[in-house]
Structures are given as C-alpha cells and as structure tokens.
Amino acid sequence: MPDPAQLRTHLRALAALDRAIGDDPRFCQYTFDGTWSPAVEAALMENGSGDDFAVLFTPAGVLIRGFDHE
C-alpha cells in the first residue's frame, strides 16, 4: 500500500480524470470529497454494477472498505 499522502493524491487524480473525461457527471465512477465530514476526506467509487469502495482519510489514519458483488 502507498503511504496515505500518495494514496490521497492518486485517488484525487482518478476523480479529476473521471470528471474531465466523462461526458455526463451522472456516470462518473470516482469521486473525492474533501469535506465529507469535519476533518475527514473521502474517496469513493461506485461502478453501477454493485461494486464499490470507500477510502476515508481521518486524523487517526486511513480506513478502506470495498465490496465486489461477485
């Protein structure tokens, strides 16, 4: 795993590229929310087929949760 700063940079870039390349924001799979809650940033992915992940950057560390429906 990359360190938290590298992971945050990578996931922000994925969200920015997804938004820039995609024609319709409703179909973006990657998002990054810098104000998800106080002191917490969230990187989220949902592909519309049941697969998703969430990465939370908190003062205590990084929490990663993923789900693959198959």
Report domain extents, the chain: 4-67
At 10-45, the pLDDT tens digits run: 999 999 998 888 877 777 899 999 999 999 999 999
- The yes-or-no verdict on residue 1 having pLDDT over 80 is no
d(CA 52, CA 69): 9
Per-residue model confidence (pLDDT) at position 32: 96
What is the distance between the terminal CA atoms of the chain, rounded to a whole angstrom? Answer: 24
How would residue 69 be classed by pLDDT, with cut points 50, 70 and 90? confident
How confident is the model at residue 26, as a pLDDT?
A: 72
